Chain A
Amino acid sequence: DVVMTQSPLSLPVILGQPASVSCRSGQSLLYSDGNTFLHWFHQRPGQSPRRLIYKVSGREPGVPDRFSGSGSGTDFTLRISRVEAEDVGIYYCMQGTHWPYTFGQGTKLEI
C-alpha cells in the first residue's frame, strides 16, 4: 500500500496568519492518464470529512479561495492564506492513484 505521510501532525495557528500542511507519498501519484489523484479533506469535530481540493489543486465548489493546493509526484502541500476560526479540525491528504487508496494520518489545526 502507498504510505501517505503528513507533517506536521499538530498545527497551532494564529487567526489571520497563513498555514500549510505537507503530504508525501511513498511513490509517485502520477497516473498513466496524466492525472495526479491527490486530494485534501477537512474534518470538523463531530462531522464527516469534506473534500476541499481534488487532483492536487482543484478547489471544490464553495471552498474559499484562501485554500490552495500544490505539488507533484510525491510531494504536495495544502496552504491556507489567512486562517479563520472555522478552519479548525483535521486535514487529511488522500491518494486515489494506486489501489488501495490511502489517507495520511491527519494534521490537527488548532487556533
Chain B
Amino acid sequence: EIQLVESGGGLVQPGGSLRLSCTASGFTFNMFWMTWLRQLPDKGLQWVANIGPDGSGMNYVDSAKGRFTISRDNARNSVYLQMDSLTAEDTGIYYCARRNDFWGLGTLVTVSS
C-alpha cells in the first residue's frame, strides 16, 4: 500500500521559516518524481515544486522561487520542503505527492502574527 506522510506544519510568524518532511512507503521511491502542492483558502490547488528521482532536476512555481527549496533523501525515502520568508499568502494545506497520482493527507501551515 502506497503511503505518504507529511509532517512539519504549524503556526509561524510572517518572515519565519518551516521545514516540511514527507516519508514515503509502498513504492520504489528513487524511481519517481516527487511533488509538493498546496491548497490555499481562496486560490484553490497549486503546484509548489517538484524534484527528479535522483534529485538533479527541480522546478518551482514563481511564488516559491528564491524562498522555498525542495530536496530529497532517497536513503530515507523522504522529500523535504524548506520554506523561508513566509507570508500570510502561504497559509494553507501542503501536500506531498508521488508525481501527481498519489497524495498524502497534508500538513497545515499557518502564517500569522
Contact = CB atoms under 8 A, between A and B. Distances in A.
Interface of A: 39, 47-51, 54, 60, 92, 94, 96, 99-106
Contact of B101 (A51, A99, A104): A51
Contacts of B95: 48-49
B47 A100 contact: yes
Contact of B103 (A39, A49, A102): A49
B13 interface: no
B11 interface: no
Nearest to A94: B100
A51 B105 contact: no
Interface of B: 44-47, 59, 61-62, 95, 100-106
A101 B47 CA distance: 6
B44 A103 contact: yes
Nearest to A106: B44
A50 to B, nearest CB: 7
A48 B100 contact: no
Contacts of B45: 49, 92, 94, 103, 106
B106 A48 contact: yes
A106 B39 CA distance: 12
Nearest to A39: B100
5 contacts: A39-B100, A48-B95, A48-B104, A49-B95, A101-B100
Nearest to B35: A101
A107 B81 CA distance: 29
A51 B59 contact: no
A51 to B, nearest CB: 5
A99 B59 contact: yes
A8 B90 CA distance: 28
A15 B45 CA distance: 28
Contact of A54 (B62, B101, B103, B105): B101
Contact of A100 (B61, B105, B106): B61
